[in-house]
Each structure stands twice: as C-alpha cells, then as structure tokens.
Chain A
Amino acid sequence: MSVAPSQLLNRQIPEELAVMLRRRGVEPSQAWLCVETDLNLAGQFERVFLLVFERRLIVAGMAWGDQSRLIRIDLPRDNITQVRTRGGVGGGFLEAVVSGIAVDFMTFSNGLADTFAKVARKLNDWCENKPVSVGIEDDYNPRKCPVCGMTLQFPGDVCRRCAKQGAVLWRVIKLMKPYSAKATLMMLFVLFGIALSLVPPKLTQYLIDKVLTPVLSDDGAARSDAIKWLIMLVAALLGVYVLGMVVTMIRGLLSSFVGTQISFDMRARVFDHITKLGISYHDRYSPGQLMTRISGDTAALRGFVDQLTSGFLAQLITVVAVGVIMFSLSWKLTLYTLAPAPLVIASAVFFYARVRPRYSRIWDAQSKLSGVLSTILSGIRVVKAFGQELHERNRFTGSSEHLQNSERNVEYAVWKFTPAMGLLFQLGSIIVWFVGGKDVLDSQLTLGELIAFLGYLGMFYAPLGTLTQLTTWLTSFLTAAQRTFEILDTRPDVDSSENAKSVEAQGAITFKNVTFGYNRHEPILRDVSFKIKPGEHIGIVGKSGCGKTTLVNLISRFYDTDRGQVLIDGEEIRNLNVDDLRRSIGVVLQEPFLFRGTISANITYGQHNATPEQIITSAKAANAHDFIARLPLGYDTYIGERGAGLSGGERQRISIARALLFDPKVLILDEATSNVDTESEKLIQDALVRITSGRTTIAIAHRLSTLKNCDRIFVMDRGSIIEHGSHEELMEQKGLYYRLVKIQTELSSEPSIDVLTAEDEEEKEKNAKKRKTKS
C-alpha cells in the first residue's frame, strides 16, 4: 500500500472526530485512505468520513450525538467481495457486497461522483489484496478546472469562470469586421441621409420669414426679392429630395448586402458548429430545436444591420442632430421639449426588465412547436397506424396555444406601453405650442422659427417614440444572439487535437482497460480490454443494454473513454484526426438512414466523386443492383425522407453499398440484418461475406446466425467481455453464449447458428461429393 499526501483521498479529519475515534480504539492516522463526503446515509447534509485501514473500513460522522452514531459502518475487509458506486437521483452511493448482501455505506452528492468512482476502484483492489496507492495524482480530475475548481461540462472544456466573457452586442458588432469597408460606407450614407433630412424644416423657416411674411406685410418692392427667394428655396428642396432618394437607395443596397451576408455567414457558422458537436450534444437537443436556432435565430442577426441603417442607430443620431438644431433655434423651447424625457427613460428601463423574459418565452414556444411538429410529422405512420390523429392534433394545438399566449403576453405589454409613451411626448408638444406661440406673439421668436421648430419637433419625437421600442427590439435581438453564441461557445467534446495525426488505418484495434459511461455513476463499459488484428472478423453478442453499441461507438470516437485507451494501429485514438479516423470506418446501422435524394446520391454519400462504374460495383456487391435496375428510373430514382418507398431490406442494401463505396478498413455492422425478413437477410448476408473480406469487421448481432463467419466472438454482459472465442469454442465452454444460442434455437423458428452451421456443413459435404463424382 503506497500512501502519499492527497487532498481528496488522504484528508485530515477534524481533531474532535479524531479524539472521539481514539477513545473508541481507532487510530485515524493509520488509515491509508480517508475521504470526506457531504451527506449521511439519510440524505442529510453532514460531514461524513470514510477511513480505510489495512483490514477494515469504517464510516464516521461528525453529528455523533450520543456517540452511538459516531461509527456508522465498520466492515472487515475479508467480508467484502466487491465495492461499487451506484447512482441515485442527484447523487450516488458506495455499495459493498458483504456476505452476498449489497450494503450502502456512503452517500455522496453528484459533485463528488468522480472522487467516489476513484475510491470504489481503490477499494476493489484493496478487497482483492492488490497493491493500492494514494497520492497527489488522485487529486487530478479532468472534469474540474485546475485554476478555480469549477466543474467543467466535459473533460478538457474551457472554464467559463476563468474565460473572458464578451458582451453579446460587442460580439455581434465584431461579426461585421470582414465587411468593414462596406459597413463604413453604409454608415457614411446613413449620416449623409440624416443631414439631408434636416434641411426641409430650415427651408420652411426661410420660406415663411423671407418670402411669405415680407410679402404679407409689405408692398411690391419686397415681392421681387421674395420671388427670387422662392425659386431658390424650391430648387434647394427639389435638390434635397433627389439627393435623398439616391442616398436612400445606395444605403438600402449596402444594408441589404451586409445584412444578408452576416445572416448567411452566421447560418453557416452555426450549422458547421452543430455538425462538429459530439453525439452527446445531439442526444440532448431535438432536431426541431436546433432547426429553430439555425434558421430563426441567425435571421435575427440580419435585423441588427437593418436597425443600424434605418432603425435605432439612425434614429438616435437623428435625435441628437435635431436636438442641436432645436437648441440653436430656441434653448428655452428645447428644454420644454425634453421635459418628459426622464419619465420616458425610467419607463423604458422598467419595460426592459419586464418584457425581456417574455420574448424568451416566445422563442421557447416557437422552438417547442417546431419540436412537436417535427416529431408528429416524422412519426406520421405510427400516428395513423394507431389512429391518433386527434390526440396529436390536441398536442399540436396545446403547443400552438402556448405560442399564441406567449406572443399575446408580449404584444399586450407592448401595446400598453407604446401609446402611453406617445402621450408623454404629446404633452411635450402641447407645451411647445403654448410657449412657442406666446413667444411669437411677444416677438421673441419669428413665425418661421416656430414653424421650423415644430417641424423639427416632429422629427425629434418620431424617432424618440421608436427609440422607446428600442428596448423591445434589443431584448428580442439579444435573446436570439445569446442563443446563437451559446451554440458557438459550446466546445465539441470530441475533437481533433492541434497535433492530431493523419491516419490511413490498417484495421488493428486495441482496447486497454476501457471504462465508459453516459452517466458517471454507472459505467456501461467496465475495464474492457481486447486486441483485434487487421482483417479479423469479430462478432459481438450479448443482451440488450450490455454495451455492444457503446463499444463500437468508441471505435468511431463518437464519445471519449472515461478511463483507458482505444488504439487504432497502435496509436491512441485521441491523437488521430477525427475526420480521417471516421473515413477509415464504415458503419452499417440497424436502422439505415437514407437521405432525401436519388439512390445514386445516397450510395455516393461520403464519396461524391465516385464514377457510375464504382456505384454499380458497390451496389452489386451489396446485392442491391438487381432491385435498383428494375426501378423505372434506376439509380436516378428519387427516394423520400429516410428512404420512403423502399423496403427495409432494400434500404439496408443501399446503406451497405454506401459503406462499401467508402472502402473502409474497418467495417462495423450494428445489427445490420435484425430488421429485415429472412430472404433479405440471406441477400444481405451474402453481400456481407463479400464485402467484409480483407477488412476488419465487427458485427453486432442479435440473430446469432449473422456470426457464423466470424473468427472470434465476444460475449458481453453488463459492460464486460465475459467470453471470447470461435463459435465452437464458446459452445464447448457452455457459458452465456451457449445459453443464448440455446434460447434462440428454442424460441425462434428461424434457423439458429447451429442449424445454419449444420446446413453449411451439409452443403460443403454435398459439394465435395459432387466434385468427387465429376472428377
């Protein structure tokens, strides 16, 4: 037993507990492992310690009360046959098998799950009297940030607490960087357009003060001057309008270009990122939810550009520019104009806080509606087969109503807020009418100046009114942007490292003590080790849930192991380029997935430059050519969603042809024939015999008949390989494989592996006899 300091597994227990234990004859310093948990067996928060000595383990709690509760568990090592972790809801247990009985002896919350997984492994070695060590290396936990200790979403993830968080709005602005020249030009046109819009009220002032007022109050001498002024003013107004039209047109074109480009780029980035994210991410989100994010949320980013050019930014600048002019016309009237502003700002802040979550709920309702629709439509055959149209209609209506209510919730709030804001502004203009009119009467202001001021007042209040809706738009926009960045910020849990090596696999596969689980408490694979030689044919059998598919998922690196290594041709799989790796592996699944498109396009998926000759060759090898050739449009036959229009066997043969065209060194057949009829299975089996030749082949099979050609068969049970060998060797062992074959033979009218083997032998004998007769 090697013991070195470790913060996690060699903790110092509190002195008062040590004293109490010594009184009971237990010397804590002699424990080689001491670990603390945060819960007692009743599920209450309490500091509880596990102390493991050479020949016993004890569990002691801090809330010992009358001392009868000081030592909760005291187990001699010799009585324990196994220690394991078991998951509860929100936590887990350490469980020992003592004299054949499962005994929970320690509870922990999920934050300590990794620590107790380590403890269980060490205790198992201790039970088996194997060498055990505790040291500083036990403190390392790849799921924790080494700087702040925050739990990471997966090993190797960037710690959010330590990483810099960019403001959402700033990140959106940075998206415009590649188009900075066009964006700058666009903004110049925006400014120019605003400047032009300020001219007409000023011209109105001149019209009144220089043309109309002198003429109305004077004689003919003033009239000739007024005509000159009038012509100049009309010409200037015409010029402003024409120029304004040109500026608006160019600004619109630039805005459209930049906006659609940003939206396009974001769609591409989000789509790329979603496809790079690991299977575990896709396990969590439905296709419907992701569809909304790719199409809806990225489109919202386009709205940002529109807001810059004709929305809130343009209006903000207009408000400032108009404010300056108004101030130059009459500072007193301008102050009256601004009187309602503090109330407007306060209202907007309040509105922002109240409305933002409601916008999020609209998005959520849309996303849920998409999810419900996607589920119903993709399962429409099941819906019809069970006559559940009405039930599904009600489900859809429920989601639709939720969206309706969410939208109403926001819009009602908006329609209460906006008119109230309008009234506030109108109060300002009423004051201006009164004070301005009085100033004109008192000759402190010219009539032209007042009319111009009222013109500018319209220009000031109109955008200010819109600006009160800025918060509404901004919240909606920021919600969409935040969700988009949430996807982009999610790091793929399985990715090629910077120094990833290219690989052209030869097909040697090694598992070294691999443990993996989707849930930390309950490994699906436990300490699995094996070696497969290039070109070897391996069958995997076992009951449902024993880890067969999980095992092959690790070969394709859809997930990374929790412990141990997977090696391809002697190289650790994490050091290999993921794309190269997956190109070396062909997978034929139980449920073949065909895309909407032609049969030809489906076969060439992943090998788009394949020639017609190659397509036909692979289809022939997959026993698919004959049925394809019989179709009116042959390889150009368009098939529907998921291969609609073809039988299960036909779809499977197309998927085999696709895998074959890929020419992989490793072929994985995950129950490839379990969903097809016997005749199709025979055709597929014949094809598989041909295409697996010279390739490392791993076939998972429920029907054991699939395995008659395998070099070795792995028999799995609860995450471990418990038997391996050829069919004959396994039958001789009379273990689980033997039992499975017997069960299948008894239950199934279809040929078992025994029958098939016997038939095969008979056929061989017949052929041999024929050859003899001929010769």
Chain B
Amino acid sequence: MAPNMIALTGRSANSTKPGAGYPWQLRAAGIRKAFGGQTVLDGISLELQRGEVVLLRGANGSGKTTLLNVLTGNLVPDAGEIHLLTNGSSEYFRFPAKWWRTLNPFDHFSPERVCREGLGRSWQDIRLFPTLTLQDNIAVATPAQAMENPIWALLRPSRSTKREKQNLTAARKVLAELGLAGREMSSGDKVSLGQSKRVAIARAVQAGARVLFLDEPLAGLDANGVSEIMGLLRKLAQDEKMTLVIVEHVMNIRRIVDLATTVWTLKDGKLEVKNVGKKATVHRASNGHDLQSWAAELTGMRADVKNQRLPGGAILSTIAPSQDRQGEIVLKVEDLVVHRGRRLVIGIHGEDGQHRGLSFALRRGDLAILQAPNGWGKTTLLEALAGLIRPTYGRIELSGREIQGQTPWECAQAGLSLLQARDHVFPSLTVREAFRLTHVTSIPEGLTHLLNKRMSSLSGGEKQSVATACATNSGAFSVALLDEPLSALDMASLRSFGSSLRNHLKDAAVLIAVPGSLGELG
C-alpha cells in the first residue's frame, strides 16, 4: 500500500511520525522575494509544527500566493533558507543556491522535489487532470511507482500489472471515502466543483503530503460544497494530524475558524504569527466577514427586500429602495430558456413536456443577489443576458428595448455591463491600458498604485478589483451583471466595492451572482 494512504484510510497517524523528536516539520528563515524591484516577501521566518492548522491572511497583493508558491517550490526565493523535516530525513535549501547544486538539473528546488519531501498543495483553480478519470487522478499521484519507468513497464509486465492493480484498488478506496464511489470512471472535468476540490486535496495526500498548503479551498462553493470540504479538512487536521496552511478570502474565513490553531498575517512583506487557542480569538484575529453581514450593510439603508425562489434551489433576493424612490424597470426577463448544447440549463421541463422559462424584473436602483448552487447555471444566465450565449427562447428587455439575440457589443452599447467570474482580465495589458480600453471614467483610489503594472503580475484579489472597476466604472450603464465579484477581495476592497455599488445604484440596477449558501435575505 502506498504510504500516503495513511491519511485517508484511517490508519493511525501515530504509526508514522516523520520528523518525530523535532519540534517542527518546516522551518524557513530570512525568505526574500522581489518582482521587478518590488519586494513582496521581506525576510520572512516561520515554523510549521505537526498537526498545526494555519490560516494565512493578508490584504490583496500582500504576497499570500507568493509565500505559498515559495514554500511549495513553485518559486525560488531570492534569499533565505528552508529546512524540511517532513519526510523523516532532513533536507536543507539555501538561497541563492551554491553553484554545485545548480549543476544537477534534477536536484533543483522545484515543486516535484518539495513534494517528494512531503509538502503538497491544492490550487485555487483546482487543476485536476481533465482527460484522466477520477481513479487515475488519484492513482497517478502515488509516489515512487517503478512502472512509471518505461523500461520497467516493458521488462516486467506482470509485476507492472500487479502493482497497478493494487494502486487502482487504493485509488478506488480513497474515492469511496470521499463519497465518490461509482464515479471512479468519470473524467476530471465532468464532476462538480466541490467534488473536484475534494479529489484534488485527496490527490495531494495520495502524493505523500504531510504538510498541505490549500489555496482558497472554499472559493466558489455552495453550502453543500463548503460542508464537504470542511468535513475533509477536519478529518485531515483532527484525525490524521496533518499540518495545513490555508489561504482563504475574507468571506470564507469564518468557516476556517473552527480548525485554525495559528494565524499568519502578511503585511508589507513581513509575517506576523499569532498562535491562538480559542475560536473567538481566531475569529477576531482573522477579521472574519461574510456575505450576510456585507449585504446587511447595504440592506440597512434600504427598505424593501423581496426573495424570489427560483427552480433548482436558487434564490433571487432583490433589495429595492423605498417605495417612493423606486425607479422604472430597466431589465425585464420573460420566460427565458437557455441550453448549452443539448443540456437545458436555464428553465425547467414542465409536466406537459414544454419548457418553462425564467422570469424576473429589475428596476433602477435595485440590488439583486442571485444565490444558486454550483451547477445551477448562474454563469450561463448572466452570459445569456449579456449576449454571449443565444437563448433558446424567451424575451430580454433592457430599458424597454429587446436585446435577446443581439451581439455582446450591442448589449454593452445598449447599457449592459458584465463582469465575468473567470478569464476577465487581459493579461498582457497594463492596468492603465485596461482602464482606457474599457473607458473607465473614475479610477478607484485603491487602484491608482497599480496603474503601470501588467495585469498578469497582479495578485488574484488585485485582478478581481481591477476587473470589477472595468465593469462598473466604465461610463453609463443601466444594468450591471456581476458574476462572483466578491471572491478574492480583502476587507478594504470589499468596502470600496460596497461604496462604489451604492453610487451606481442611484442610476442603475445591479445583479450579483454568488454560490448559494446564504438563504433568504431581509
């Protein structure tokens, strides 16, 4: 059996104690990293102990992902040292490396090298292997497979088959423990977001991770997805005593609170470490925030909240100004049915065999929050409204003018603005160029320092803030459609976005789509 099966098969974690006798598993000292003259990590020192659960937080652009990338071998620091005792043996890396260590191309500080020392990671964008089955996604991670050498695969076919059978059996067992029995042969791109995130974490464990770095494991998940991932993390941390370092954005921090034993805060390139025992302390230290409280700040000044239950478990909460200030209808959707290929995404099959479409209306000044489970079709709906997908049938009116079937640029010219959840930046443009391209009239104060930076060099939160500004600060629009605009934003960006939203709501309606986890507002 592969050694990494320990964590998920319930074998006692005490049966193997890598680094036993040492107080720590990973120690880094004086880590520095700069990009183009800008120092992101400035002499960071840290220690990770076995079973520790760390919440890594910091403002947008503070270097959270950079630190994660450095500790997992994806980035080579400019200076400093990293000492690993994760795998029972001591491994020491010093930066810049001595010249003789650079001679062997297979001995560099690299993701594969660090992984073999027992450090694993999960990615914000999951990165399952899409053409492999779930079973193979797990099986491929098993370390030290002799049959990954083509000579062995040819010369010892019977042994290869036997080992492979054992490996696949172990992979199926892992999937069964994740509640994915029966989905072994589903390909990596055909499972839900929550399921793929669980498989990605299990895959890292299968690769032998004893210290696991998780980059926004809850991002984009609905309530079910969050509870599945939290269950898995709890099992890894509490039952298997794995060491976890979790980066999570502000909206989801409160969910990690139960688990965290330490909070790392990155600010101005320095790391502040706070060991916390009690939940409340962690909560305070983590400065938690959620959509409910954020929405409450906006609803507080408004009178009328209408909750419309939509088919498939979604809720459309419309927060309208008081009766006397209600504006005219700017977006009217009637009986909208949208297919992706042959799959019906928006609308339902009626008992009479006919499709029933989605209908709703937004008035000027309305803030509508669409909470829907993963896979409901939020993105499809927004893209259909914005002209990126042609609806099967139905009627869409923007300020009294029919826009269904029009091109995306015609919809934009008619006053519709769309912020997409993914791929919403032009990586080779600078922020200034992106603002010019999208005719941004007023640049938010918090983004002026980014103007000369290339979009590809921004952090996730900075990209989100810039993309949001491009969608909502670009001249006149009557309806803004924002797909998961709050993900990756820090507190300051969240407040700035909230205040910008209040300004826009004087003249327009805004529809925000988020993964459904909140219930009815009001």
Judge: A and B partners, yes or no: no
Residues of A within 8 A of B (CB): none
